Amino acid sequence: MPASGLLITGTDTGVGKTFVVCGLAAALHRRGLRVAPFKPAETGCERDPVSGELIPADAQLLRRASQTEAPLEIICPYRFAPPLAPEVAASQAGIAIDPQRILDCYQTLSSAHDIVLVETAGGILVPLAEDFNYGDLARFLGLPVLVVVRSKLGAINHTLLTFKYLASAGLSIVACVLNHPFAERSLAVETNEATLRRLLRQPLYVIPHSPVSQRPWENRGFDELAAQILVQLPAR
């Protein structure tokens, strides 16, 4: 039977999606599930100085957190050096990202795991190929969406715009995660949580994010989020 799946997107780049997917993958694994991360395209990859191969650092971290044995080539089939939208990076490399290849990799992961966590590069409308963005990918794979927000000035507008698009596209939203920085203090950070709880109908989870001192797979704050997601995902 195919695995359940979830697409994790952000309101912007650099909002902490990989942090959240790592923590969620580890929490689901603690519940006895076989978890596969899937990052169809990763940009900003550095080259291995020996092999010259592009190394997808985020995908490697996701693989470690989920404790899967799936090959990295399936977890992250497209890798590019320029830190650009995947379609733009692919065009500069002289190739086109093939949605069918993405589907094949997803199905391979799905066949051997209980749940597949699909991480976008940037936000939901970032293009993967011509006339094919991550919102299209969610529809293509039939996935509900988890939205990650970095708590900062502008977070409310970015969140509402993302939710507005998801609703108009007919995509299901399971929850929203607000990444609260540990050290940063501002009036926006202090008020974002209460405002989003008032404006959103979906569950909102707040998880402090310290990329330097905290390993996400050890953060037990993701356990409640994992339980919420399992309730909302279709039964296998």
Closest-CA residue to 19 (of 234, 227, 225, 202): 225
Residues facing 175 on adjacent strands: 146
For residue 228, the model assigns a pLDDT of 85
Cβ atoms 41, 128 nearer than 8 A: yes
What Å distances lie between residue 185 and 33, 195, 197, CA to CA? 37, 16, 19
Q: How far is CA 217 from the centre of its chain?
A: 15
Look up the domain containing 38 and give its range: 4-232
List per-residue pLDDT tens for the chain, 236 residues long.
456 999 999 999 989 999 999 999 999 999 999 999 999 999 999 999 999 899 999 999 999 999 999 999 999 999 999 999 999 999 999 999 999 999 999 999 999 999 999 999 999 999 999 999 999 999 999 999 999 999 999 999 999 999 999 999 999 999 999 987 666 678 988 899 999 999 999 999 998 665 554 566 777 779 989 998 888 776 55
Q: What is the CATH number of the domain that holds 191?
A: 3.40.50.300
Closest-CA residue to 27 (of 218, 236, 157): 218
Find the length of the chain: 236
The terminus-to-terminus CA distance of the chain in angstroms comes to 7
Cα–Cα distance measured from residue 96 to residue 93, given in angstroms and rounded to the nearest whole number: 9
With residues binned 3-state (H G I as helix, E B as strand, rest as coil), the percentages for the chain, rounded to 5, are 40, 25, 35
What type of residue is 86? P
- The full DSSP string for 178-221 is EEEESS---HHHHHHHHHHHHH-SS-EEEEEE-TTT--GGG-TT
Q: How many domains does the chain have?
A: 1
pTM to 2 decimal places: 0.94
Tell me which of 17, 39, 152, 164 is the catalytic residue: 39
What type of residue is 38? F
Burial class (CB in 10 A: 0-12, 13-18, 19+), 230: middle
State yes or no: is 152 an active-site residue.
Answer: no
